[in-house]
Amino acid sequence: MNTPDSVTARNSMALALITLLAIAAALFFLSRAMGQKADELKPTEAAAAAGGNAVPGTSDAELRKRLTKEQYYVTKQNGTEPAFRNEYWNNHKPGIYVDVISGEPLFSSVDKFDSRTGWPSFTKPISKENVVEKTDKGFGMERTEVRSKKSDAHLGHIFDDGPGPTHTRYCMNSASLRFVPVEKLAQEGYGQFLPLFEAKK
């Protein structure tokens, strides 16, 4: 026979058990939510550390919409465009070449030369601070890769067969670049580079 005290004890135990289950369930869902939030933040944190996605509108989905297939292949998949069949290999107009993703100034026509390789080649970047050099051991060889610091886009490689005195050749992919002619520098916000071309007159 159940006494009032035993019923009360069972009710208390049941209530305590329900409370514990409710707390456990709340903790479980909170943990999952925090884990999902952390996963969402990881790509952004990693990109920030590498210099990538520092520019608005540079998520993978947005880049796939904005870039051509070749531009995406070169900049984000470390590809190489065909020699002699790219936009700037034979471009002799005065101006600067900027990152096709971020617009960061990278190279100047003042430092461009005909390397006879079929890719746009430069003796140096506009500013060393705008590019990152990394060791590339792909394809069974060791080369120095060049990437854009701001967008982490693959640009090309450095070789030691350029003109003197440094003999450095920055062999770049046209697909990684956008050319801004000298007459549009001020209009597009690159007016600070006009003196480079005034000195050549």
pLDDT in tens, 112-170: 999 999 999 999 999 999 999 999 888 788 899 999 999 999 999 999 999 999 999 99
Q: Give the number of other CB atoms < 10 A from CB of residue 39.
A: 9
Interatomic CA distance for residues 201 and 197, integer angstroms: 7
Cis bond before residue 43 (omega within 30° of 0): no
- Res. 93: pLDDT tops 70: yes
Q: Give the number of other CB atoms < 10 A from CB of residue 116.
A: 9
> With contact defined as beta carbons under 8 Å apart, do 146 and 133 qualify?
yes
* Record: fold of 60-198: 2.170.150
- Cα angle 170, 173, 176 (rounded to 5 degrees) comes to 110
What is the pLDDT at residue 45? Answer: 36
171 part of the active site: yes
Kindly report the pTM of this predicted structure.
Answer: 0.72
Burial class of 151 by CB neighbour count within 10 A (0 to 12, 13 to 18, 19+): buried
Tell me the pLDDT tens digit for each residue of 24-35: 666 665 556 555
Q: Which of 74, 100, 106, 171 is catalytic?
A: 171
> With contact defined as beta carbons under 8 Å apart, do 116 and 122 qualify?
no
Indicate the SS3 state at residue 69: helix
